């Protein structure tokens, strides 16, 4: 092996992320909801894949994440697990899969690992979800926390708003973060939080923070892949950087297909299968005149 060859890739674990924080290395995370996307995210060298309940909005066409079910999540998690070999895989527990009872929370969390091939689960909420979080961790299931803008609570929050913009609100987030870390979460998502608040939280807790709309002071960054790739011609959150316009590329390609079919350009001879002339002749002879 060349002295300059990159090290062989190994499976990313929760300890990998924690080691990255300790060594000051930035963590990368993206969403995926299907086999093809998970293959691409894996091949790009991303540390972790979140199968987010955001699939309700970007894949299933809902107005929010609230209608997403356990069956929806498990279906998409299985597809992602078939495509990704190296990233840490995290399944997002959907609305009402962990809020109703501790028993249901543990049972549903376990299904993500036992049935869907995930390595860990993510729960939204602060100190209010600590009983469920503690029970899931006690069952041997790694948990990532999620505070700040928690989309499953948009009706309570009054919409998709930045959280922690007052000293009191910021203190509540800090207290939530410390409590979740002490409970045993292996990492924490900070969503739509002022950058200074997110940096302060990242400095005050030992576990990695992964920001989405939370500035550069977090230990890692995550985006919804569909937003990053410009898969939709729609509103994009301020914190998203678009790296491509695949929606435009797709519309252009599909329009050319429509034109080619309408004009008879497609399918051409190279796109068509043939039958040998002798077999064709035998067929016509057998059929006789029309």
Supply φ then ψ for residue 210, to 5 degrees: -120, 120
SS3 135: helix
Residue 92 CB contacts under 8 Å (≥ 6 apart), including other chains: 50, 51, 52, 53, 54, 73, 121, 122
For residues 122 and 29, give the distance between their C-alpha atoms in angstroms, rounded to a whole number: 13
- Percentages helix, strand, coil for the chain (3-state, rounded to 5) are 45, 15, 40
Residues 209-236 as b or e (16 or more Cβ within 10 Å = b): bbbbbbbebbbbbbbbbbbbbbbeeeee
Catalytic-labelled residue, pool 115, 191, 270, 279: 191
Torsion-angle region of 24 (φ positive above 0: left; ψ -120 to 50: alpha; else: beta): left
Q: Is 285 in the active site?
A: no
Residue 148 CB contacts under 8 Å (≥ 6 apart), including other chains: 163, 164, 173, 189, 190, 191, 192, 193, 214
- State the pairing for strand pair 220-223/48-51: unpaired
Q: Which of 188, 239, 205, 228 is nearest to 27 (CA)?
A: 188
SS3 30: strand
- Which residues are designated catalytic? 191
């Amino acid at each position: 092996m060349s002295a300059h060859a990159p090290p062989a890739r190994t499976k990313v674990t929760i300890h990998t992320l924690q080691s990255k924080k300790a060594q000051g290395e930035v963590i990368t995370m993206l969403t995926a909801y299907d086999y093809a996307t998970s293959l691409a995210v894996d091949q790009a060298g991303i540390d972790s894949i979140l199968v987010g309940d955001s699939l309700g909005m970007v894949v299933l066409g809902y107005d929010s994440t609230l209608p997403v079910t356990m069956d929806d999540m498990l279906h998409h998690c299985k597809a992602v697990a078939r495509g990704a070999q190296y990233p840490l895989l995290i399944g997002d527990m959907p609305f009402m899969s962990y809020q109703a009872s501790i028993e249901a929370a543990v049972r549903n969390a376990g299904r993500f690992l036992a049935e869907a091939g995930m390595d860990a689960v993510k729960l939204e909420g602060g100190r209010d979800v600590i009983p469920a979080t503690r029970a899931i961790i006690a069952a041997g299931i790694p948990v990532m926390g999620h505070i700040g803008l928690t989309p499953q609570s948009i009706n309570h929050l009054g919409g998709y708003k930045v959280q922690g913009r007052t000293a009191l609100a910021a203190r509540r987030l800090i207290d939530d973060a410390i409590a979740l870390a002490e409970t045993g979460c292996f990492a924490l998502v900070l969503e739509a939080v002022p950058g200074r608040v997110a940096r302060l939280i990242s400095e005050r807790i030992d576990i990695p923070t992964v920001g989405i709309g939370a500035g550069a002071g977090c230990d890692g960054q995550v985006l919804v892949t569909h937003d990053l790739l410009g898969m939709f011609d729609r509103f994009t959150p301020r914190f998203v950087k678009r790296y491509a316009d695949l929606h435009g590329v797709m519309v252009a390609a599909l329009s050319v297909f429509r034109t080619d079919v309408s004009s008879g350009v497609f399918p051409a001879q190279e796109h068509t299968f043939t039958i040998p002339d002798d077999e064709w002749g035998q067929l016509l002879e057998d059929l006789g005149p029309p």
